[in-house]
Amino acid sequence: MMEPLNSCSLGAMGSLLRKLDELLRTEERAKGLIGDLRIISTKMKKLSEVHSPPHTVKYWMNDARELSYDMEVCVDLFVHASQPEDVPAKVAGILAWIKEILGFEARVKEVNERCERYNLVNRYVLLSNPAKILVSRHLRTQYEEPDPVGMEEPTNKILEWLMPKGHGEEDLKLKVVSVLGDEGAGKSTLVKRIWRLSEGKFDCQAFVRTAKKPDTRMILRSILSQVRPKQPLKVCKVPKLVSDLREHLQDKRYFIVIDGLWDVSVWHIIKRAFPAGNQRIITTTAVENVAHVCCSYDSNSIVNVKCLGTDQAKNLFIDRAFGPGKGCPPQFNDFTDEITRKCGGFPLAIICTARLVASQPETEQEQQLDYRRDIVNSYRKGLLCYTVHPVVFDFITCKSMEDNFITIIDYSQSTVVLSEKVRRLSLHFGSATYATTPESVELSQVRSLSFIGLLGCMPSIAEFKLVRVMMLHICSDDVDMRFSLSEICNLLQLRYLQVRCNVTVELPIKMQCLKHLETLEINAGVEYVPLDIVHLSRLLHIHLGKKSSPNPAFSLVDWNWLPCSSISLRSFELLHPICMFSRLPLWFRQLHKLRRMEIVVRQLSDDIDVLAELPVLKHLSLYVRTPPNLEIIFSRGMFPALEYFKFACGVLSLGFQKGTLPNLRWLKLVFNAHKREQYGIPVGIRHLLSLQKVVAGIGLAPGAGESDRIAAGSAFKDAIIQHQCHRSFEVVVKRVDQVDEEGSSNERGQVPLWKLAFRTPPQLPVLKGSKIEDEAGNPLEVILVDADTGSPAVLPQALHVELVPVFGEFPPEGREDWSADEFHRNVVKERHGKRPLLTGDVSLAMRDGRATVGELQFTDNSSWVRCGKFRIGARVVPASYDGGRIVEAITEAFVVRDHRGDLYRKHYPPVLGDSVWRLEKIGKEGAFHMKLRCNDIGTVQEFLWMLAVKPNELRAILGDGMTDRMWEATTSHARTCVPGDEVYVYTAGGSTIYVNSVFNLVKVKIGGTECTLQQLNRDQTMLLGQLILEAYEHRYNLIELGTRYPPSLGDSAWVLENIAKEGAFHNRLEHNNIKTVQDFIRMLMVKPDELRAILGDGMTDRMWVETSRHARTCVPGDTVYVYAADGGTIYVNSVFNLVKVEIGGIECPLQQLNWDQMALVLPLIMEAYEHRHDLEETSAVTFDGDATDNIALLRELILSTPSGGISQANIRPS
């Protein structure tokens, strides 16, 4: 049975008395102790009702609470201690504990006697019932902000300032206005109104509140999430956030409000994210210096907000206390004048006081009625938390800490002096990297913990031995990390656990020991779902996972056979894609108190009856992975209380009979539109008589097009129109991503004819960086086999096959009928900042049913994935083959280990990504290593960066222990590292520097002109030094230029001039499947105008000439491809230059083609380009390297006459 709730003012007295009654009911010596505790409990209840108690009462109440806490600790430690099996030892342990608990008797008597001595109950309780002020209650039920009072002038001034006046130079500057005023004067209310009035007038807007101790990273993240709402935020540091925000806001008209700035240092950082132009920024502050700095000391850009005058203050109070336009009752005139005078004209104080007056009911019955009404309204509006003014928040915090209700520690407090034990601890570390919990806090006594900060700053969970409530909001810069909760098994008093983080959470394998756990809420990806959570008899709420889980793999769960003890469950949410039930467990029938459920099931049929009779189930979300073969029927009487129903499945096959789901108000259906298919729209929606809203989310199955989605939406609306009340409820049809299907529409009904296989398994063990061979020491070989017999098979055309790393635990349960989508989801991505996991000959051309693998190796070990193993998978490259499905091949699962003996070995030469301890004189985990790591120098590359830019500072970090001789040895070894050919660019103030990967200077441009170091004058040399220092500070965000001379066909497109890696041009090319230099040149030869249009207006004429000229320097090789159609044959090289033309079997020189022949050749070239991935090589024609842009010549000749024809004068003579 769940323990009843107690007021925090009573401490643990209620639960303590219940436990002592149970443990000591036969112990005569304890009756007096328990009786005294009951007296204390009664006195505490009475004194807790005293309004504004004096310090004497506060001190006594605090001592009584601490007594209850200490005694409960004694009880809990005894109950959960491991008992010896020996009976005499067990009896001795019990007697020792009884003696210990009776040892509190003197302290209990002292607390009781002190209350009697000062006569606290009679003295204060009887005097604590002041007469109630009987006023007409006026409660505002609306939640919108009221218009500010007395602020018409500043409002109009700011609105006028917001509107653009033209395109002059002055209007294109970054414009900032500062609202200056005391706390509580109405600054926030003013800018909120401005914000509302400006909605829709800018390209993007953001409103962010700061704190007295601000977190700059969170401020920037908040702004970026508002101006770029459709793009998920990645975890990154401040410089990267500034860069991303600046790039997004470039050339946009934006409006930013920063409310509550306290420190100019914050402004100096975030203002760098705001590019100049037609933009507006408002800051509010109570610090005059901050206001001047924000607006660049322009006094005309400062708006002063002053307190209200006497009449305005009084009118504001009357409107808020008694209702707009009702005036003040005569008996309260003097009372009103006194209140407004004490409020000093501050709107915040006036409004807060008025609300207190307005909330005074005329009767206690009315008070209870209003209280319940407020709760119901708040619940219906979804208000689970409330925002208060910083001044009010500071007041609440101060009072809470004063009464030892909570202890709040932020990242700036390294030492905290505490006079009392900490029972409820809140650690607000934000983005601080090195924040720690003060040593003066005794964590073992903490009953409630709230933590907000980085994963590395989180104290050990095991230290909180007696914690009841734990709320952890954690962030990590490395999203590949894991957050282990294995230690919660030692928290035997834990009742509530909430975790929100951006990394995967590892729950303990078994949780049955947490007998008191009532709520388990994990808003993160979950590595493993313990099967025994259904045995937690007190568990009421389960919520595991979030929509954007970092680990998309499913865990297939079959709990059907497990007995369930959690029959009191109220909510059960295992969100997609945390885990999947093979079917609905039968024990779901026992959950008679269940109100909310959200799960994923593989198959669903008539077992929907398992949930159909749950009496209070109101919210149900079902995600079904396998489309049902038969229609799922909802018959009369099913789901009597259900109000919200979401059903997501690739194919809808539902039927609603008369009398089913009588209370359903909101129906949400998510499904796929399939190509030329009769859409499975639910039958009988007209029988759902209580419907108020219907939402359809329609995705596209593979092979389906937008026309199929439109047809599905139309069919769905036709079904809704049949409902007799369809005009009275809301119908929404929207586009969604494809709904995952096991056996998707392009695979259902098709039995694969072929599959890939590895001829022989790989040789074990597999070592990181070592060549992978088969068991006989030969290269691995991928073959094509018959799907039924397993015998070798051959296809007439070549197949493009790729090798990929796959999770070792795939496929689940040893299945062999996985889908292509399941295989794709289980491909392993490399860790952040690492090289591709599988390198070498990962792209193969399969001819005659076989493909041989040359070099192949793993670049990382397998210890960081949850199963600790990889497989090698082989699949046909998506979209490269339009026949039936060819099933993927996988090897057996294996462990990838680091090289033997490599744990402490130095590398000669070292590589950039090596840990810094690989250098001479730096021992792993030694003093030098630790000093470097504390200064964020973890790799050889980071060591070389600082050695190139700040060598003296680097030497100072290593300290006196690094002698001159050792320094020379270390730096000499570091300089043997091969930097590679990557080039990075940094631009500021019209000047640009180019550096390599170890910060050696490659090139300098000042004012757009390239300069050698010998040409620089003194001022330019100083500027160069400053640029290098700035570039070093932004070293993690430099743009990789990547330019190579000449580029190779297989190089990424970003190696070309003016195309920066992951920049705007690169992303546009990637979006259009132009990934390599070869892709770029081919389109440049055949469709140059379309290529130019893809790059957009940002690619100027000069940049276009530079980029295309650089691309043409690529050596095409001597490979020739042939394409024939409609009586013509063309031969092109690897970059689509014409090598030879045959018409009617006769070779025709390009210069001798007439207009009709040219009109035939150009379409042939276009057709060949569309089939460029399937062209056949030929050895009958050789390429001598003399081909030019002859396709461009053809195009020019054909288009040279206005009629589209061509005259003989336009044709070059042979």
Residues 845 and 964 in one domain: no
CB 513 within 8 A of CB 538: no
Per-residue pLDDT tens over the stretch 318-369: 777 777 766 777 666 667 777 777 777 677 677 777 766 665 554 443 444 3
User: pLDDT at residue 626 above 60?
Assistant: yes
User: pLDDT at residue 133 above 60?
Assistant: no
Beta bridge partners of 648: 623, 670
Per-residue pLDDT tens over the stretch 49-69: 887 788 888 889 989 998 999
Q: Among 615-629, 814-828, 907-921, 1109-1123, which range has the highest average pLDDT?
A: 615-629
Beta bridge partners of 1010: 1005
Rounded to an integer, what distance in angstroms lies between the CA atom of residue 402 and that of residue 419?
A: 11
Domain for residue 724, yes or no?
yes
Rounded to an integer, what distance in angstroms lies between the CA atom of residue 479 and that of residue 832?
A: 8
Per-residue pLDDT, 888:
93
Domain for residue 397, yes or no?
no
Per-residue pLDDT tens over the stretch 356-366: 666 555 444 34
For the segment 134-163, the average pLDDT, to the nearest whole number, is 57
Per-residue pLDDT tens over the stretch 850-886: 999 988 999 988 888 878 899 999 999 876 776 678 8
Per-residue pLDDT, 242:
86
Q: What is the phi/psi pair of residue 527, to 5°?
A: -70, -40
Per-residue pLDDT tens over the stretch 509-559: 788 888 889 999 998 888 778 877 878 888 999 998 875 443 333 444 545
For the segment 256-265, the average pLDDT, to the nearest whole number, is 86
Residues 796 and 667 in one domain: no
Residues 626 and 685 in one domain: yes
Residues 928 and 831 in one domain: no
Residues 294 and 319 in one domain: no
| DSSP 8-state class, residue 12 | T
> Which of 216, 272, 265 has the alpha carbon at shortest distance from 244?
272
Rounded to an integer, what distance in angstroms lies between the CA atom of residue 1012 and that of residue 1000?
A: 14
Weakest-pLDDT range from 936-945, 956-965, 1189-1198 = 1189-1198
Residues 279 and 342 in one domain: no
Rounded to an integer, what distance in angstroms lies between the CA atom of residue 351 and that of residue 145?
A: 12
Weakest-pLDDT range from 112-121, 216-225, 526-535, 755-764 = 526-535
Domain for residue 1047, yes or no?
no
Q: How far is CA 543 from the centre of its chain?
A: 17
Quote the number of domains for the chain. Answer: 8
pLDDT higher at 1055 or 169: 1055
Per-residue pLDDT, 82:
60
Per-residue pLDDT tens over the stretch 1067-1108: 889 888 898 888 999 898 888 888 998 998 888 887 888 888
Per-residue pLDDT, 148:
60
Q: What is the phi/psi pair of residue 1005, to 5°?
A: -125, 125
| 75, 110, 125 - which closes a domain | 125
User: pLDDT at residue 247 above 50?
Assistant: yes
Rg (CA), the chain: 37
Rounded to an integer, what distance in angstroms lies between the CA atom of residue 407 and that of residue 422?
A: 7
Rounded to an integer, what distance in angstroms lies between the CA atom of residue 1178 and that of residue 1119?
A: 8
Per-residue pLDDT, 450:
92
Half-sphere exposure of 1014 (CA within 13 A, CB side): 0
Q: Among 755-764, 901-910, 1064-1073, 1193-1202, which range has the highest average pLDDT?
A: 755-764
pLDDT higher at 316 or 777: 777
Rounded to an integer, what distance in angstroms lies between the CA atom of residue 659 and that of residue 942?
A: 70
User: pLDDT at residue 1110 above 60?
Assistant: yes
Per-residue pLDDT, 1209:
30
Residue 509's domain comprises 476-602
User: pLDDT at residue 789 above 60?
Assistant: yes
CB 179 within 8 A of CB 305: yes
Per-residue pLDDT, 29:
84
Q: What is the phi/psi pair of residue 835, to 5°?
A: -70, 165
Q: Among 213-222, 335-344, 684-693, 1190-1199, which range has the highest average pLDDT?
A: 684-693
Residue 718 exposed, middle or buried by CB count within 10 Å (0-12, 13-18, 19+): exposed
User: What predicted TM-score, i.e. pTM, was given to this entire model?
Assistant: 0.57
CB 851 within 8 A of CB 844: yes
Domain for residue 192, yes or no?
yes
Residues 758 and 873 in one domain: yes
Q: Residues of the chain with pLDDT > 90: what percent? A: 14
Weakest-pLDDT range from 105-114, 375-384, 1030-1039 = 375-384
Domain for residue 546, yes or no?
yes
User: pLDDT at residue 456 above 60?
Assistant: yes
Please report how the helices 347-358 and 390-402 are oriented relative to each other, as an axis angle in degrees rounded to 10. Answer: 70
CB 37 within 8 A of CB 69: no
- For residues 360, 362, 366 and 370, what is the CA-based torsion angle, rounded to 10 degrees? -20
For the segment 797-806, the average pLDDT, to the nearest whole number, is 90
Weakest-pLDDT range from 42-46, 197-201, 1066-1070 = 197-201
Task: Supply angle C-alpha 263, 268, 272, rounded to 5.
Answer: 145
The reply to whether omega before 762 is within 30° of 0 (cis) is no
Residues 772 and 892 in one domain: yes
User: pLDDT at residue 16 above 80?
Assistant: yes
| 326, 354, 380 - which closes a domain | 380
The band of 166, judged by pLDDT with boundaries at 50, 70 and 90, is: low
Domain for residue 1060, yes or no?
no
> Which of 712, 709, 722, 729 has the alpha carbon at shortest distance from 683?
722
Domain for residue 176, yes or no?
yes
Query: How many other CB atoms are there within 10 angstroms of residue 234's CB atom?
Result: 13
Per-residue pLDDT, 574:
85
| 955, 975, 995 - which closes a domain | 975
pLDDT higher at 821 or 280: 280
Write the DSSP string, 430-474.
TT-SS----TTS-GGG-SEEEEEEEGGGPPPGGG-TT-SEEEEEE
Residues 165 and 244 in one domain: yes
> Which of 851, 838, 857 has the alpha carbon at shortest distance from 886?
851
Contacts of 51 (CB under 8 A, 6+ apart): 128, 130
Contacts of 394 (CB under 8 A, 6+ apart): none
Residues 314 and 275 in one domain: no
What mean pLDDT is reported for the chain? 79
Residues 852 and 941 in one domain: no
Domain for residue 99, yes or no?
yes
**The residue type at 1087:** K
User: pLDDT at residue 1131 above 90?
Assistant: no
Per-residue pLDDT, 1130:
86
Rounded to an integer, what distance in angstroms lies between the CA atom of residue 1049 and that of residue 1077?
A: 5
Query: How many other CB atoms are there within 10 angstroms of residue 10's CB atom?
Result: 20
User: pLDDT at residue 716 above 80?
Assistant: yes
Residues 836 and 929 in one domain: no
